[in-house]
Structure 1
Amino acid sequence: LDNICRFVEDPLGYIKFIMPWGEGELADCQGPRTWQAEILAAIRDHLQNPETRFQPLLISVASGKGIGKSALVGMISQWAMSTCSDPKVVLTANTEPQLRTKTWPEVNKWFTLALNEHWFNLEAESISIKDPTRKRLWRMDRIAWSENRPEAFAGLHNMGKRIVVIFDEASTIADKIWEVTDGALTDEKTEIIWVAFGNPTRNTGRFKECFGRLKHRWLKFQIDSRTVEGTNKEQIAREVEDYGGEEEDHVKIWVRGLFPSQSSKQFIPSDLVQAARKYKALAYESLPKILSVDVARFGDDQTVIGTRQGRKAMVLAKYHGFDTVQVAERTIEFILKEKPNAVVVDGDGLGAGVVDQLRARGYKCFEFHGAEKAN
């Protein structure tokens, strides 16, 4: 017990100490793989720094397949449960079968391998300390997420102790679950660690945003399967060749640990969008100016008014909750200000009302119908 207490803030040292490396099932392993050790060391450095210890640590890992993600889930869980009293550890995955048949058995394996395996009760949906007076407080739970029941992820607070949240195959976990989990990051004087693992199968959603819009909040790792010990490099090379090379989305996702250029619902690939954002339009001033109006239909969508002149595109205004009369009035204001050569309005749904309003007031506009055939 005294030896284990030395590793309260050092998961890397703990895993090296507590696991029977070089013996039995770990006969061919002398310690965690290099990338696993880097993440365990990052947790150590965060906890050992007084300025960051009680600030949430958010780690996102996008990788190719076969690198040992579930093994690291097991290591982090075993350390979290063994070196703090009354910790709260929660694990979820993209699907209930993934959680039940793949991730959870791997977690159980690492608890069984550890020198202190006798400390814990390993059950179908939870792991708890054997002390009957503490098992309700000192526990790890696997929870299958449901977008319709996000409240299952509420109540993760554990003031003054330790919270560890682990997402496996995070790319396809609904944004709503991420949002509810955000609420667990507010306890003071609490060790809070949130780790999201996954193959980067989708270029939209919160997992992607860990490497984009929210990258300043997350400690990010993108791992190529070919750089990891124990992966079959010859088979991976054949796969890269069979799927057409390094830039193919299959290779980006399953080998390189990169997000795909294009999602299944996306018309314009993300890499082209990123390149366009860096482009500086020149000599567009003498070209025709087009005013466009994209009318919001429902929910969180916004009505957007913008212009395009040659290769120069600008968003002029965004509105939420406006009716067709209000949108028409704002459009007329921009017609008078921008003096466009043409006005194009999304004429489907509520947009038809905006078209009618403009024409009734004597303004010419072209209707755009996205689902129609080209002429």
Structure 2
Amino acid sequence: MPGKIKNAVQTAVIPYQPRYPQTLIHPQLETHRFCVLVTHRQMGKTVCAVNHLLKSALINTRPAPRYFYVAPLLKQAKMIAWDYFKRYSAPIPGVKINEAELCITLPTGAKIWVAGADNPDALRGTYADGVALDEYAQIKPGVFDEIIRPMLLSRGGWTLFTGTPKGQNAFYDLFTYAQKAARQQPDLWWCGVYPADTTGVIAPDELERIRQATPANVFRQEYLCDFAASCDNVLIPVDVVSAAFQRHYGAAEVAGAPRVMGVDPARFGDDRSVIFCRQGLQAYAPRVFKKLDNMALATRVAVEMQHFRPDAVFIDAGCGGGVIDRVRQLGFCVTEVPFGSAPVKAGQYANKRAEMWGEMAAWLKAGGALPPGGELRADLCAPVYDFDVAGRLRLEPKEKIKERTGRSPDLGDALALTFAFPVRRGAFAAEFARYEYGVL
């Protein structure tokens, strides 16, 4: 990370000590050409961008490197970033500051400009080795494609897009694209999301005061990085999931509740097979597998059943036929669940999948506890819903979610399967009353 930089011209020390999660972010910025960074307010994304630009400019050995920091407005760029550039570049011997042009010239010959997207035509006709687009949610659509991207062509330059969600606008579109691109081209694209309840930058008691004093949708958007905060058709809001991540129940607290296992076999090559276990209000860390065939997954399920001793096991019948048959051959009792089958609460839900997700949402709101995990958060918050002509809740199809977000909500579906049918505590209750899953 920025610190001591040495090249043929100068040895320089940038007075910057990154904190968590900046320590995780900078290695990604240095190894990917296109980065999308979504953060909560006051996380330090602008400081990240400033120091990434400074380090990149100092170590660039090409002739006359050029870098740009761009905010939505020139006045805004000067207010939030210019002082940072001057502060962090001040100890570099030979640095030149041009206040009129908002330009820093480093002893290497590299230049960094601070600019506003309110006058993007001023950037036309030049080249760039790297560009940081800050508060991208407020930058005019088309600035990157029409102005910035052509600037990068001759030098193979990089771009950092940073911001906090502001509804489902161009930044949201870029975010969803970046999620897909990061899976398809992991060496080129990176996408990071850092909500306030995971970074520790804002003290928990202060964050709670902010939550209480802030409208729920604003808090979800500004501090929990929820692009859907302004939408009213998200089945499970991010603040509900965040609250569930903060809860945990010990073995004694859930001892009388049934143990349930949900298994979602992979549908396609890049999907994941997931085994999720839950006892009452406590869900445990899922087992996630990639590129596992049905026979191998069936063995994993059998081993997990011996370990967890569930009272019921529900397996998605859509792609799990081979898994179900093999597990039964091994002498275990499992229940196949067609996602499109009739729900128990036929007047409330359109099909079984909608019912499972609806019951899971109610469980979360009633005090359900989740194991930590960014992918689980994304999966649970992904589906939107509507109502059919009979007024029954209908969930967005899994294929549509994958098309929209670039990933299938496999972890969410596996946990939802634990709500497929009512389950009674079985014969293992007495023997395993003091057993906490994963801890003997």
TM-score relative to the length of structure 1: 0.53
Q: What letter matches 1:88 in structure 2?
A: R
SS at match of 2:157: strand
Cα shift at 1:122: 4.4
Corresponding position: 1:61 with 2:37:
yes
> Are residues 45 and 142 of structure 1, via their aligned partners in 2, closer, same or farther at CA, if it must alter by over 3 Å?
closer
Within a 5 Å distance, the mapping from 1:92-241 to structure 2 comes to: 92-112=70-90, 115-129=91-105, 138-146=110-118, 150-157=120-127, 163-180=129-146, 181-187=148-154, 190-205=155-170, 207-217=171-181, 218-241=189-212
> Are residues 182 and 226 of structure 1, via their aligned partners in 2, closer, same or farther at CA, if it must alter by over 3 Å?
same
Equivalences, count: 234
Distance (Å, rounded) in 2 between the aligned partners of 1:101 and 1:144: 11
CA offsets 1:254-296 (integer angstroms, 9 cap, x no match): 211221332xxxxx6463699xxxx9799xxxxxxxxxxxxxx
Distance (Å, rounded) in 2 between the aligned partners of 1:73 and 1:184: 18
Distance (Å, rounded) in 2 between the aligned partners of 1:118 and 1:44: 25
> Are residues 99 and 252 of structure 1, via their aligned partners in 2, closer, same or farther at CA, if it must alter by over 3 Å?
same
Residue in 2 aligned with 1:271?
234
1:72 aligned to which of 48, 58, 66: 48
Distance (Å, rounded) in 2 between the aligned partners of 1:124 and 1:253: 36
Residue in 2 aligned with 1:37?
23
Percent of matched pairs sharing the same residue: 14
Cα shift at 1:96: 2.7
Corresponding position: 1:19 with 2:5:
no
> Are residues 105 and 280 of structure 1, via their aligned partners in 2, closer, same or farther at CA, if it must alter by over 3 Å?
farther
Cα shift at 1:40: 1.6
> Are residues 42 and 130 of structure 1, via their aligned partners in 2, closer, same or farther at CA, if it must alter by over 3 Å?
closer
1:250 aligned to which of 213, 218, 221: 218
Cα shift at 1:214: 4.4
Q: What letter matches 1:121 in structure 2?
A: I
Q: Superposition RMSD on alpha carbons, in Å?
A: 3.7
CA offsets 1:132-159 (integer angstroms, 9 cap, x no match): xx96xx311122223xx5433333435x
Q: What letter matches 1:19 in structure 2?
A: I
Contact 2:82–2:102 (8 Å) recurs in 1 = no
Distance (Å, rounded) in 2 between the aligned partners of 1:130 and 1:43: 21
CA offsets 1:339-360 (integer angstroms, 9 cap, x no match): xxxxxxxxxxxxxxxxxxxxxx
Contact 1:59–1:219 (8 Å) recurs in 2 = yes
Distance (Å, rounded) in 2 between the aligned partners of 1:281 and 1:254: 39
> Are residues 235 and 88 of structure 1, via their aligned partners in 2, closer, same or farther at CA, if it must alter by over 3 Å?
same
TM-score relative to the length of structure 2: 0.46
Contact 2:29–2:35 (8 Å) recurs in 1 = no
Distance (Å, rounded) in 1 between the aligned partners of 2:14 and 2:121: 36
Q: What letter matches 2:124 in structure 1?
A: A
Residue in 1 aligned with 2:267?
none
Distance (Å, rounded) in 2 between the aligned partners of 1:125 and 1:221: 32
**Following TM superposition, where does structure 1 have runs of at least 4 consecutive aligned residues deviating by more than 6 angstroms?**
279-282
Distance (Å, rounded) in 1 between the aligned partners of 2:75 and 2:233: 31
> Are residues 44 and 130 of structure 1, via their aligned partners in 2, closer, same or farther at CA, if it must alter by over 3 Å?
closer
Contact 1:92–1:167 (8 Å) recurs in 2 = yes
Residue in 1 aligned with 2:326?
none
Cα shift at 1:60: 1.1
Q: Which runs of 5+ in 2 are unaligned?
A: 182-188, 238-338, 343-387, 395-440
Distance (Å, rounded) in 2 between the aligned partners of 1:83 and 1:116: 13
Residue in 2 aligned with 1:26?
none
Distance (Å, rounded) in 1 between the aligned partners of 2:340 and 2:143: 38
Distance (Å, rounded) in 2 between the aligned partners of 1:273 and 1:182: 37
Contact 1:103–1:168 (8 Å) recurs in 2 = no
SS at match of 2:131: strand
Within a 5 Å distance, the mapping from 1:84-99 to structure 2 comes to: 84=60, 85-99=63-77
Distance (Å, rounded) in 1 between the aligned partners of 2:86 and 2:30: 23
> Are residues 126 and 81 of structure 1, via their aligned partners in 2, closer, same or farther at CA, if it must alter by over 3 Å?
farther
Cα shift at 1:93: 0.9
Q: What letter matches 1:74 in structure 2?
A: V
Contact 1:166–1:196 (8 Å) recurs in 2 = yes
Distance (Å, rounded) in 1 between the aligned partners of 2:124 and 2:226: 31
Contact 1:63–1:258 (8 Å) recurs in 2 = no
Q: Which runs of 5+ in 1 are unaligned?
A: 9-13, 22-30, 47-56, 263-267, 283-308, 313-375
Q: What letter matches 1:168 in structure 2?
A: D
Distance (Å, rounded) in 1 between the aligned partners of 2:92 and 2:195: 33
Contact 2:39–2:195 (8 Å) recurs in 1 = yes
Q: What letter matches 2:172 in structure 1?
A: K
